A = this chain, B = another copy of it.
């Protein structure tokens, strides 16, 4: 029975790899994009309009999500459509929501 530690390189690499994926979701804009893509695929221009930021900014967010393996891209003419390939990412939103709710309840109970 080996104690769980972060001392060996293998365990550390495992957690780093997982953290890299979660980090891809740890941004409000990228979270929003994932939420939108869960309902329907969209091109960069559409997402740019929804987000309300520079095209390059949105494109970089999408590249980041793609590198993490959370979305995929498909070229259609001059446009690039992005699809959500990791639906489990949606549960991040639910979990965050649940944590916020618990925090609020505890805050109210303290009054």
Contact = CB atoms under 8 A, between A and B. Distances in A.
Contacts of A35: 4, 15
A60 interface: no
Report, as a range, how many residues of chain A touch the other chain: 35 or more
A94 interface: yes
A15 B3 CA distance: 37
Main secondary structure of the interface of A (DSSP, over half): helix
Nearest to A5: B50
A31 to B, nearest CB: 5
Interface of A: 3-7, 11-12, 15-19, 21-23, 25-32, 35-36, 49-52, 68-70, 85-86, 88-89, 91-100, 102-103
